[in-house]
Amino acid sequence: MLAIVCPGQGSQTPGFLSPWLELPGVREKLAALSEAAGIDLIAHGTTSDAETIKDTAVAQPLIVAAGLVAAQALLETSLDTLPVVVAGHSVGEITAAALTGTLSNDDAMAFVRERANTMAAAAAVTPTGMAAVVGGDAEDVLAAITAAGLTPANMNSKGQTVAAGTMEQIAALVAAPPAKARVIPLQVAGAFHTHHMAPAVAALEALAPSLAPHTPKVPLLSNYDGAVVVSGAAALESLIAQVSRPVRWDLCMETMTAMGVTGLIELTPAGTLTGLAKRGMSGVATVAVKTPADLESAKELLAGLAQREKEHK
């Protein structure tokens, strides 16, 4: 089985969409997604600087749109004809919902627009941020995070936990890191997946009745517990609640391993989730689709797994 995974906020870099615009139809698709998102995704993906695309209101729609563009270029057949499971980290779960048909592209962009704008507004109330804690004993790491008054917002793997809270709390953790661990501040503008984001949850709950979720065409994993969501309504509920509760990517990887995943493709802006898979999913072949030049390797991995699936039937 193959996993197609979609990265979260902080994975974007200036100009990362430039090479994608060379592919037929991409400019038109991005223009349509820009209209739905209410921002110029083409400009932000090609010419905007790092500080501009760090803004939550820009970064989140940009990342979702990038994943949809990459998926369109990668997939030559309907997703439900392939032996795949789909998952996304944080905002990437919206991309995953669109790929699986759980949300239409328009609904996905409407959702991420509201999510991004209201999370940005919530983040502006108090200066907050996030920091990755890499290494160290798991109990020591959680104890240090708690001692600093922070929340373990992303449980990414056994060796990486992301803490979130006020900038003063982040500074306290940097000054007193857990034993044998490094604390790395992240390029995100808020304490996502914590109580600081409660206003955004309320806004998304108000938006929900205008959306039309469907049962996923292929298995879609929830960030809450790594389990396969059972319906479109459950997927939407998970997406809304995710804003203020921790992302359990470690559990998503455990589920993928238990499902027999042997290959993993990360959509653009790729790199983070393939890195976690290399450390947390032993023996799994990975392809990070960073530019169109990576599509051939991804298609080869996808075709190889599809062929082996046919042979086993």
Name the residues annotated as catalytic.
Answer: 90, 193
Strands 160-166 and 285-288: unpaired
Cis peptide bond prior to 213, omega within 30° of 0 = no
Strands 181-185 and 128-135: antiparallel
* Beta bridge pairs of residue 182: 134
DSSP letter assigned to residue 281: S
Contacts 24+ apart (CB under 8 A), 33-40: 33/61, 33/65, 33/68, 33/105, 33/109, 34/65, 36/105, 36/106, 36/109, 36/110, 36/113, 37/61, 37/65, 37/109, 37/112, 37/113, 38/113
